[in-house]
Each structure stands twice: as C-alpha cells, then as structure tokens.
C-alpha cells in the first residue's frame, strides 16, 4: 500500500506544484482556471503538446534563449527561425524528389515551384555544405531550374541500400544537426542563412 501512495505522490506532485503557480491571463475576458485541477479534482495527465510542430520548435528555442542569462536579445531573430521552418515544411511536404542511382551514389533531383523551389534551393545546398563527410558520405548539391540536385556518394557500396531506404528526405534528416541549427538561427548566428 505504501508503494501505491508513494507512486501517487510522485505522479501528482508536478501537477500540484504547477497548479499553485497557475492562473495567468491571455486577455481580460479569457481567464484560465487553476492548471491541473478541474471541478475541484486534480487531473491525472498534464497536457504537453502545443498543437503545431513549428510552434513547438519556436517555443523550445525561445525557452532556451529565455533561460540563458547570457542571451544577447539584440541579435535574436525568431522571425528568421520561422522562415527557416517554413522552408523545412515546404521541402518536407511539397517538394518532389526523383532518385537516379549512379555508381556508389544516388542523385536526387528535387523540384517544386514558386516558394517551394526557393525553399529547396536554400535547404538542399545548406544541408550538403553542413553534412558532406558525415557518416562517410560525400554530399554535393547545386541549384537547377526547378530546385536543386543533391548527389550522395558512399565510401562503401554496402551502404547503397541505406541511401535507397532513406530516400531524399531521410538523408536530409541525418545528423540531428537541425535542432542546434535552429538555436543558431534564432540567436542571429546562422552559418549559412
């Protein structure tokens, strides 16, 4: 019985602590109740999702900058981060990519129109500059009339199935560098924007 009581205390403590600090207002007519409590009863689950991925990425970066007492707010540019996230969305959701196998390589022709084409050019060229040499891959990118091409060459032919499996967008995700890049953009230190 003691272990159940202890587990309940551990699970409820964050909600109770937050409830004691809650009660902020968005506008004079929109007041929230105490967080973590509804109809006088504590909630079992605390909502965590902000509802939209780009908003969550911006919120994460703003929280990091706000928590850092050394943040130079005169250089912060959250709007630049928002524009970058628009580029990411355009490339991820709206670009067309066609793969052509070449010896020890795959060449991706990435195409779109209007703003999508411009997003492709910014993202693909920047990704190649950042990630070439990582994981034994050589990545070369260049603009073309409909967007950009990206040629990925592996040192070991045994890695070619990985390129096929990842496809263009999977290769764009390699390296987990995007999160740090978001912080650099927001802080006004973007290396290639």
Structural domains counted in the chain? 2
The model carries a pTM of 0.73
Q: Which residues of the chain have pLDDT under 70?
A: 1-38, 176, 190-193
Q: Which domain holds residue 180?
A: 78-186
Q: Compute, in degrees rounded to 10, the torsion defined by CA atoms 49, 50, 51, 57.
A: -100
Please write the tens of the pLDDT for every residue from 105-146.
999 999 999 999 999 999 999 999 989 988 889 999 999 999
**Is residue 66 in a domain?**
no
Q: What is the pLDDT of residue 36?
A: 59
* Helix/strand/coil percentages in the chain, nearest 5: 50, 20, 30
Residue 72 lies in a domain: no
Residue 57 lies in a domain: no
Neighbouring residues of 94: CB distance < 8 A, sequence distance ≥ 6: 112, 116
Cα→Cα distances 143→76, 93, 140, 162, 173, Å:
29, 19, 11, 25, 20
Q: Are residues 88 and 151 in the same domain?
A: yes
157 assigned to some structural domain: yes
């Amino acid at each position: 019985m003691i272990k159940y009581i202890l587990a309940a205390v551990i699970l409820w403590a964050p909600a109770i602590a937050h409830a004691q600090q809650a009660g902020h207002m968005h506008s004079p007519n929109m007041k929230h109740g105490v967080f973590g409590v509804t109809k006088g009863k504590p909630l079992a689950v605390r909502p965590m999702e902000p509802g939209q991925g780009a908003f969550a990425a911006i919120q994460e970066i703003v929280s990091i900058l706000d928590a850092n007492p050394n943040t130079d707010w005169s250089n912060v540019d959250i709007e630049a981060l928002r524009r970058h996230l628009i580029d990411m969305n355009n490339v991820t959701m709206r670009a067309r990519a066609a793969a052509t196998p070449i010896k020890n390589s795959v060449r991706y022709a990435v195409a779109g129109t209007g703003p999508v084409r411009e997003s492709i050019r910014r993202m693909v060229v920047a990704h190649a500059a950042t990630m070439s040499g990582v994981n034994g891959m050589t990545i070369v990118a260049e603009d073309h009339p409909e967007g950009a091409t990206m040629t990925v060459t592996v040192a070991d032919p045994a890695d070619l199935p990985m390129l096929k499996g990842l496809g263009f967008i999977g290769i764009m995700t390699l390296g987990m560098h995007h999160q740090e890049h978001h912080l650099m953009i927001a802080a006004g230190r973007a290396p290639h924007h």
